[in-house]
Amino acid sequence: MASEGSQKIAILSVYDKTGLLDLAKGLIKNNIRLLASGGTAKLIREANFPVDDVSAITKAPEMLSGRVKTLHPAVHAGILARDIASDEKDLAEQNINKVDYVICNLYPFKETVSKTINLTIPEAVEQIDIGGVTLIRAAAKNHTRVTILSDPEDYHDFLAELDKGEVTEKSRQLYALKAFEHTADYDAAISDFFRKKYAGDGLQQISLRYGTNPHQKPAAAFMREDKLPFKVLCGAPGFVNLLDALNAWPLVKELSEALQYPAAASFKHVSPAGAAIGVALNEVERKVYMVDDIEGIENSGLAQAYARARGADRMSSFGDMIALSHEVDLPTAKIISREVSDGIIAPGYSKEALDILSKKKGGKYLVLQMDKDYEPPATESRTVFGVNLTQHRNDAKISPSDSFRSILVPVDSPPLPESALRDMTVATIALKFTQSNSVCYALNGQIIGLGAGQQSRIHCTRLAGDKADGWWMRFHERALNISWKKGVKRPDKSNAIDMLCSGTVPDSGVEREEYEKNFETVPPPFTQQERKAWLQRLSEVACSSDAFFPFIDNVFRASRSGVKYIASPVGSQNDQAVFSTADKLGITFVEQNIRLFHH
């Protein structure tokens, strides 16, 4: 064999034989010896091209029904040998020639699995290529010398270069990259199949009802090399359920850790409708949040946190995904049991709480138990329109002691009160998990208004302010003392209160008639003067923005909703005007130096 060393050698072993004969013709034209296995050799030979079986160099026949063809030192030493003296010596001692080209593609595991109905595991196993993967990886590893072709689409350009004299280093690099991607995709398809078969019961993978919309099937959630960090205790999750749950959980976890309170969030469409910590509720707040009849609520910080989170914007919280930082207790479960909600994620559940929640929605209510110790990887990725995007996860820490130290105005400001630091922390952590652009108003340890997903910063500020105004109007005695007709449901009450407090009561017609059906005594709409007088009593509100305020209109709008503290990144060309406006309005402006876009 050593005497044949002047002639270059190509090993061919392909399942997809597209373009194979044209390739063989081109290789022979360039005086390259062909070695091939099985059906590849047969097709080349039937076309009357000279080709040797791989056994010509291995001196061993194919065996185990074709499972072993090319797995031999004579093959792989020839591929892996470098142009160095020690490798040349080893080859000479074993009478092995170098291999210069490897043309190989693999059994169609992915296609077989996707197209074969009721494919058995033994049938799938037989589609797992061993020798081919080894050939490809060996050649790709040694691509400084060896050319690896794993895609028939590359044959034409390869032969064009070969006809000019040699394959360039750049081409070998790109062929090697494609080869590694080919084997990686192949291995991923195999592991995907066995994950579904062996760990698809929720251990590492779970099937979802559908994707973002019902027509987007199939859908799944899975982890590679690790268990899923949550268990499904009841119900069946959908794609959006998990988007909400896996954004809401870190929010309440971070909120609880930062402020040392139980925390709760009410999520809709991957943004919080409300979030809060378990600050004690007073009697009026219990009535506003419709929990004044919940036994034991005064002893449950978690129940009070969810009452605040749900009560901040009851209209947006309708059909929410709930996240709770602590084990769910009986009072919290009682609140949830009578609200329209899609599901819940929490680190644990008392037996009584789980019994209640498992009966909700006819036993279909989604209950997820989260591993409270789970930490996601530092790098996160997603696929958008077929393009993979990666970034370092947003692991910025927001804390009342470290995040709000830089007071810009007033210049002689005293230290911020604990309540302001608390509320800025609530608002800022909420923004970290809110679709951008976003602005959040907070008071009493809870969100009272959130403007999410707006392209314009001022529209975020207005939306959040309008919601904060509506929240505060619900504390007016007219809203507190509504006389409801018997049988009016909670969602209908929420809608009627929202119309009353937002000033959108219809003047007349069918809509007005439907509105009035809710009441024993129809409350008169608020006049403009009444609204203005009541809203002027709202004060000490904290406002946070996920990026800088570009114009002073944001400050004016925030001020009208009782904002006395603003936390925001800076960097706008208009910063000084923004700071000056805040100073004139009696607002303390604090630089929060981390931009918190979320998409």
The residue from 8, 17, 110, 141 that is catalytic is: 141
Rounded to 5, what percent of the chain is helix, strand, coil? 45, 20, 35
Count other Cβ atoms within 10 Å, centred on residue 323.
32
Helix (H, G, I), strand (E, B) or coil at 541: strand
Q: Is the backbone peptide bond immediately before 410 cis, with ω within 30 degrees of 0?
A: yes
Could you say which of 17, 227, 269, 459 is catalytic? 269
Catalytic residue status for 141: yes
**CB contact at 8 A, 544 and 431:** yes
Helices and strands: H and E segment counts in the chain: 24, 23
Give the span between the Cα atoms of 314 and 320, in whole angstroms.
10
Give the closest residue to 265 by CA, choosing from 317, 333, 318, 330: 317
- The span from the CA of 200 to the CA of 219, in Å, is 13
Characterize 362-382 residue by residue with b for buried, 16 or more Cβ atoms within 10 angstroms of its Cβ, and e for exposed.
eeebbbbbbeeeeeeeeeeee
Separation of alpha carbons 302 and 299, rounded Å: 9
- Burial (CB < 10 A; 0-12, 13-18, 19+), residue 441, is buried
DSSP structural state of residue 84 = S
Asked, as a colleague might, if the bond just before 73 is cis with ω within 30 of 0, I would say: no
CA distance 365 to 343: 6
**Distant-in-sequence, close-in-space partners of 129: CB < 8 Å, separation ≥ 6:** 15, 106, 107, 109, 186
Q: Is 76 a catalytic residue?
A: no
Which positions are catalytic? Answer: 141, 269
